[in-house]
Amino acid sequence: MSSPRKVLIIGGVAAGPKTAARLRRLDPTAEITIVEKGHFISYAGCSLPYYVAGVVKEQKELVSTALGVPRDPAFFQKSLNVKVLTHTEATRIDRAARRVEVRDANGTRSLDYDVLVLATGVKPVVPKLPGVNLPNVFTLHRIEDAEGIKAILSEGKAEPKATPVHYFEHPAPHRNAVIIGGGLIGVEMAEALAHWGCRVTIVEMLPQILPMLDWEMARLVQRHMESKGIRVLTGTTAKSIEGKDRADAVVVEGERLPAELIVIAVGVRPNSDLARDAGIEIGVTGAIQVDGGMHTSDPSIYAVGDCAEDHNLVSGLPMFLSNGANANKKGRVAANNIAGRDDQFPGVVGSAVCKVFDFAVARTGLTEKQARDLRYEAETCIVPAPDKVHHYPGMKSIILKLIADKATRKLLGAQGVGAGEVAKRMDVLATALVAGMTVDQIANLDLCYAPPFSAPLDNVLVAANVLRNKLDGLMHGISPIEVRGKLEGGEDFLFLDVRTPAEFEAGHIPDTKLIPLGALRDKLAELPRDKEIIAFCQISLRAYSAERILRASGFTRIRVMDGGFAAWPYEKVTRKP
């Protein structure tokens, strides 16, 4: 009948190739072309820190299928009948003429389209610092960045260890490395550089690393990183980078941090200039505005992947996220709509996970801070618990934080930190969040139980029950941050540790009084009735029992510290081994 439709896709990393592959399966005749300004297509961008670390050994693994077949233009041509033009940059969209101006080594030309798909991704933010263009200053976005970092790390035949260790345990050289930015990439890069024995300092402007978490959860991660030899400077701004031909230091307020390698990881921004210049609507977040079908304001143009604005299912607000998983989902939805199959991408809850040395760190939904900024009346809990039956070998502890809306009892968000299986719990909570579940529904979820996989009541269920107890007024909580504020303000209260003497001896919080739970019923007379009592134990389960005992005995000013000793994010007095 008519000639085949021309579908032009700008961007060849994640969402672009996904759109092409899905579309080809739906439409055998469309002329599908991908233009990509870089050399590599369909590469595993999220694996770059592991490639720098030497955990992923070869560059080709980043661009190959599971069978080792390179995902290059020839592969796309042969297996999908999709044309890929690399080293080809789209410079202008002529919407009236349905034409994109592109530039490659041979100059400038135009490509026609019937349907245009923008999969232009993100670019790393580079602060305007003196010295930022010196050759040993990197962002980590492209394979070429990783190669540049690896070239410096490998100088003098240095080699990475298979696991990231404290630089004490690594043979010299201990190169000085400074990472500017303590977000997800900054933290992953700190671990990557620890594989090479680097002395790493993270410089973060905000009062915490990992703003995807609340402060006290991020602080637990920071303490873990510090135990691995990473120096973390929060609330610290990089003023300049010093050096002549090569950078040799980062200057911050009051200190010059020597550096043979500098990584800038202060975030990413959507590549939306091409769309903006063509008069396509840009969202409040700076990403390209799309509807659920991934249509832009121009009916012939779709946007997919990170450059397409996201919709937060919890807050109902637009958001900008960089996320390879959602990039794939958006590509599928766009391809379906291009092929005439109505499809909608429902939106996101902002789930994320990262490995930080021995810890897994994950989050979904809103943080407590975000929830309060959005005027939710939030109740929260912090609940440490074993990730398997406590006597099963290999059991490790994890700490969950849940945030719920007091009015509806619905989950608003969750965070998890620890050496155990955190990702599983966060995926369950992300699913519950999408379903709009209350904490009561979550507490009764029928999750899989056997001793090698969880305790009879999984961490998720235990945490939900703690939150129910708080919402029901059975347990009155107080956050460790608030307790610390009282201590620093010199407030008069009883800080009551109800653990055993042996636990206290092994480690305790300064200025606390020890009365083991088993002895509490007999020692009620020793407790002040005129003062507030703040109780805690290891994980605040026994402290909850203590509150119930004290209230039954007429004490009214009693609260339980969230997360107990296990989640206390400040100094502890510990017995030297």
Residues forming the active site: 46
167 near a second copy, judged by CB under 8 A: no
Smallest Cα–Cα separation from 254: which of 267, 269, 266, 236?
236
Binding status of residue 328 toward a second copy by CB under 8 A: yes
Site string for a second copy, 349-378 (x = CB under 8 A): xxxxxxx----x-x-x--------------
Q: Is 345 exposed, middle or buried (0-12, 13-18, 19+ CB in 10 A)?
A: buried
| Choices 76-84, 95-103, 112-120, 212-220; region in contact with a second copy by CB under 8 A | 76-84
Instruction: Give the other-Cβ count within 10 Å of 78's Cβ.
Output: 11
- Residues 543-572 close enough to bind a second copy by CB under 8 A: 544-545, 548-549, 552
Q: Is 448 in the site for a second copy (CB under 8 A)?
A: yes
Return the residues of window 466-505 that contact a second copy according to CB under 8 A. 472, 474, 500, 503
Concatenating the DSSP letter of every residue in 49-99 gives HHHHHTSS--GGGGGB-TTS-B-SHHHHHHHH--EEE-S-EEEEEETTTTE
Of the two residues 81 and 237, which places its CB atom closer to a second copy in the complex?
Answer: 81
170/425 with CB nearer a second copy: 425
114 vs 427 by CB, closer to a second copy:
427
Give residues 187-246 in contact with a second copy (rule: CB under 8 A).
none
- Strand 507-508 and strand 513-514: the pairing is unpaired
Residues 502-541 interacting with a second copy (rule: CB under 8 A): 503, 517-518, 521, 538
Contact call for residues 478 and 559 (beta carbons, < 8 A): yes
Q: Is 53 near a second copy (CB under 8 A)?
A: no
Three-state DSSP at 15 gives helix
Is the Cα torsion angle 423, 357, 480, 505 positive or negative in sign? Answer: positive
Describe the crossing of helices 73-80 and 15-26 by its angle, rounded to 10 degrees.
Answer: 20
Stretch that binds a second copy, among 44-52, 82-90, 112-120, 233-241 (CB under 8 A): 44-52
Among 195, 219, 269, 332, binds a second copy (CB under 8 A): 332
Q: Considering only the stretches 30-38, 84-92, 278-286, 434-442, report the one whose residues sit in contact with a second copy under the rule CB under 8 A.
A: 434-442
In the complex, the smallest distance separating the C-beta of residue 134 from a second copy, rounded to whole angstroms, is 30
Which residue's CB is nearer to a second copy, number 47 or number 237? 47
Are the beta carbons of 20 and 80 closer than 8 angstroms?
Answer: yes
Residue 494, classified by CB atoms within 10 Å of its CB into exposed (0-12), middle (13-18) or buried (19+), is middle
Contact 10, 118 (CB under 8 A): yes
The residue within the footprint of a second copy, chosen from 239, 435, 505, 531 (CB under 8 A), is 435
Q: Judged by CB under 8 A, does residue 37 bind a second copy?
A: no
| Total residues at interface with a second copy (CB under 8 A) | 94
What is the C-alpha separation between 422 and 420, in angstroms, rounded?
6
Residues 290-319 that bind a second copy (CB under 8 A): 313
SS3 content of the chain, % helix, strand, coil (to 5): 30, 25, 45
